[in-house]
A and B are shown apart, each in its own frame.
Chain A
Amino acid sequence: MRKTTTVKHREPLIHIAKRDDMAAWQAWLIRLAAILIGFFVMSAVLTALASTSSGKDLSFGDILERLSRSVFGRLFEGKFSQLWKFLQETAVLLCLSLAVTPAFKMKFWNCGAEGQALFGGLAAMFCMINLGGKVPEPVLVPLVILASIIGGAVWGVIPAIFHAYYRTNETLFTLMMNYVATQIVAYYVYANGQGSNVINPVSTGALPVIGGQQYLLNVLIVTLLTVLTYVYLRFSKQGYEVSVVGESQNTARYIGINVKKVIIRTMIISGALCGIAGMLLVAGKDHSINTATVGGQGFTAIMVSWLGQFNPYIIAAMAALVSFLQIGAAGAADAYFLNSAYADVMVGVVVLCLVACEFFIRYTVKFRHSKKGGALA
């Protein structure tokens, strides 16, 4: 039985089509709009919440001022300590984001930056504690750096080897490695902590302070790494191989690239950069270690790298944006007796807005005019 007479269908009202032709500046305008929407909406929510909790009648401007003061401090009064903290946070986040970028470009979803950084940091800590005083400082500092690079690389290469040979799911493998690293650090902290779960700061083997600023060297190192990563990905033969493997493994094999080798090599680099980030935290900032040393920035870095379209310079801007939100929103929430976890909420919303806006960059939405009449002709 044919049901022609009983079935009534509507024409789809909205029609979605892929687009390929949007100019880069248009795309960035959309992304900027998304950031601003997320930022202003969440700031407005914060204004309302802060007004309630503090019992004051706060304006939107008050919140913005708080936000920026939390990040930049009192610059005009010549106080830069707050700014340096912001730069340090940005540097570490940027370093982690740069680290995962070559892997992502290769379509290897390295979700293990957290663990790789932690393990690199642990290696640095180990050298600082065990070699401190036994080896002269000018030798020890390079050793600390080397140890962190090796530590991070080892943690990154283990999933890569299994992925290369057995196609073991790398997202889940690297994710699990984070927690293995966390537990090893927890073990180390208890085993070496002075009667508690805290390792007292160790000054031997720490990165030297230059220019009178504790974080200046960290910032310089990461700036250099940003340029190096850009050059590596854009101009080196290895970087080219990373792109080819990421785009099509068939093509890579066709032109004689050893895909396994590239996967393993790239993850060594990715892990090593994470290790450096861990070192910056341990030897360049805390001089100690605990399970929260990386503090989830390894996961944030995944978002930052993706938002930055795997371009190191854009990633740098995104890292600055995210750490601005993290520090600013936490500071502003704290100032008005709210929980500083508001920062995570705000970062989450802004990132979700940015992610969502990709739709408008890659697709067009057309509304169809319904054709009335004539249908029964």
Chain B
Amino acid sequence: MIGTIIRYLSSSIPLGVPLLYGSTGEIVTEKSGHLNLGIPGIMYVGSISGVIGAFLYEQACGNRLANMNPALAILIPLLSCIIGSVLMGLIYSFLTVTLRVNQNVTGLALTTFGVGLGNFFGGSLAKLVDSELPNIILTNTSSFYDVSLPFAAKLGWFGEIFLSHDFLTYLAIAVAILTSLVLNRTRMGLNLRAVGENPATADAAGINVTRYKYLATCIGSAIAGLGGLQYVMVYADGVWSNNAFGDRGWMAIALVIFALWKPTMAIIGSFLFGMLCNLNNYMPQFGVPLGTDTQELFNMLPYVVTILVLIITSMRKKREHQPPQSLGLPYFREER
């Protein structure tokens, strides 16, 4: 039983990682006052960009593991993922910051575009290698990504739960903690929060509102994109299948609310969501046999929990727990 619990906890963590990246990225963006509903699309693009990078590198190495340089095998997909996501972030910020158009519609269109782009390239690459299914298999690259800490196995249950994961998992936690520090302890963070709360005030204080909004959106997008990369390279063992990433992007947006716009809370929240998503697989092992139908009901839990958090925070109305005040509103200095 203890062993099952350890395995359950350990296997829940990778499930939470894409959500942690996604929600940390979205928090950074929302702190600048922009509700980026394009995050699901951006995560798809991050994922497929990484896949394309890895695909090209594997092709260049003749699809042989021995030919691959570990540093390049990691860096090429990582950089292509970041470039792809930042480009998406640039589109979003150009439209909503410079052109000041509706954020919700831009975000949704970007998600349609991004998911489409992911599936289009995914499907097309699969056709290039004459695969029957719309799958791209990059197990070689994945083997470089999915390396756990060397001493994990020696530390028993502690090692299995906390240390047996890949570097992108620890990077996610580090990024979330760093984001939290930057937001709360630095001048840049103070300025960014001011931009999201009250851009007119930030502007009057001499802060370059446009620059902060662009930066926050693009950095947020890059962070979110890494979630897509972790999913395909680690969780899916290097196998891209169309639509497999599913609705994780939306769940990441939900997590932002759950975390009350605090990256440190997002760490706890994302692993809690990971556990909730994982629960249906482990219920039988915990002695509660589930039919496939009931499993589907269990998958509903993260969303229901988010709704509950949303309701409870709105009922309590604590000022510090509310979204950034200008969230979703365009800023125009000469508005009269």
A residues adjacent to B (C-beta < 8 A): 16-18, 49, 53, 109, 111, 162, 166-169, 171-173, 175-180, 182-184, 186-188, 190-191, 197, 296, 299-300, 302-303, 306-307, 333, 337-349, 351-352, 355-356, 358-359, 362-363
Known: A162-B314, A352-B110. A180 touches B304 (CB 8 A): yes
A295 to chain B, nearest CB (A): 11
Known: A168-B311, A352-B95, A356-B99. A190 touches B296 (CB 8 A): yes
Give the A-B pair count, Cβ closer than 8 A: 177
Asked whether, in the complex, the Cβ of B108 is within 8 Å of the Cβ of A299, the reply is yes
Residues on A with beta carbons closer than 8 Å to the beta carbon of B250: 175, 178-179
Asked whether, in the complex, the Cβ of A339 is within 8 Å of the Cβ of B332, the reply is no
State the CA gap A363–B333 with chains docked (Å).
13
- Of A337, A344, A351, the residue contacting B115 (CB under 8 A) is A344
B293 interface residue, CB < 8 Å from A? yes
Chain B: CB-nearest residue to A188: B293
What 3 A-B pairs have minimum CB-CB distances, sorted nearest first? A344-B116, A348-B113, A339-B123
State the CA gap A109–B107 with chains docked (Å).
13
Asked whether, in the complex, the Cβ of A344 is within 8 Å of the Cβ of B113, the reply is yes
Chain A: CB-nearest residue to B293: A190
Asked whether, in the complex, the Cβ of A306 is within 8 Å of the Cβ of B35, the reply is no
- Of B105, B251, B332, the residue contacting A351 (CB under 8 A) is B105
State the CA gap A333–B134 with chains docked (Å).
15
B residues adjacent to A (C-beta < 8 A): 35, 37, 41, 91, 95, 99-102, 104-106, 108-124, 127, 134, 242, 247, 250-251, 253-254, 257, 291-297, 299-300, 303-304, 306-307, 310-311, 314-315, 323, 332, 334-335
State the CA gap A359–B296 with chains docked (Å).
44
- Of A167, A186, A363, the residue contacting B314 (CB under 8 A) is A167
State the CA gap A355–B94 with chains docked (Å).
12
Known: A171-B35, A351-B109, A352-B106. A345 touches B296 (CB 8 A): no
Majority SS at the chain A contact face: helix
A146 to chain B, nearest CB (A): 26
- Of B115, B124, B296, the residue contacting A338 (CB under 8 A) is B124
- Of B104, B127, B304, the residue contacting A339 (CB under 8 A) is B127
**B99, B122, B134, B251: residue with the most chain A Cβ atoms closer than 10 Å:** B99
Known: A184-B297, A306-B102, A344-B112. A177 touches B119 (CB 8 A): no
